[in-house]
Amino acid sequence: MAELNTVARPYTKAAFEYAASAGSLDQWATMLSTAAAVVADETVARVLATPALTSEQKAATLNGLLEGDIDQAGQNFVAVLAENQRLALLPEIALQFKKLKAAQEASIDVDLTTAFELADDQQQKLAKALSTKLGREVSVTSQVDKSILGGVIVRTDDLVIDGSVRARLAKLAEAMNS
């Protein structure tokens, strides 16, 4: 995993710098996500891993599949990846690109897990509090998991805040047993 991160980083950085200078971060994020989804398909992955195909053929195949979803600069990027036998890195590049874009835009995606569906005003209050705490614009997605009993679990890239009743009960049980 760490190796994929390391190998993908220079490609991600190059794509991000190009997209930022061209003012097309959103377009590139979409292109890379689409390309990552196509490359992640089992059939496409097998075709792109075929040693009988040249790098030009692999790039042409992928660009053909992405036709209409990718511009000329994106096609050139795919060609460079194919030439360096790095097409399989597209999912990791798309992920890293999304993180760089979010950091530049000072925004962050937060996943909320609650025991019950949150009302819109509750979700907005929580998003505002998290935005203040994290110093970034917060984009919230929520899901319901009845097993947490109550409270909320907040997850983002490198932060987990577990305010669930289940976690509190587990801490109480641990304290009583020690």
pLDDT tens, the chain, 178 aa long: 558 888 999 999 999 999 999 888 999 999 999 999 999 999 999 998 889 999 999 999 999 999 888 999 999 999 999 999 999 999 999 999 998 988 887 778 888 898 889 888 888 898 888 888 877 788 888 899 988 888 888 888 778 888 888 888 888 888 888 7
Nearest to 127 by CA among 140, 117, 116: 140
pLDDT at res. 32: 94
Contact assessment for residue 40 and residue 91, using Cβ atoms and an 8 Å cutoff: yes
Q: What is the pLDDT of residue 160?
A: 85
**In this predicted structure, what is the pLDDT of residue 54?**
92
In the prediction, which pLDDT does 2 show?
Answer: 57
Query: What are the structural domains of the chain?
Result: 2-102 (1.10.520.20), 106-177 (3.40.30)
- The number of beta carbons lying within 10 Å of the beta carbon of residue 131 is 18
List C-alpha distances in Å: 79 to 2, 40, 152.
24, 17, 45
What is the distance between the alpha carbons of residues 101 and 140, in angstroms, rounded to a whole number?
17
Longest C-alpha distance within the chain, in Å?
Answer: 65
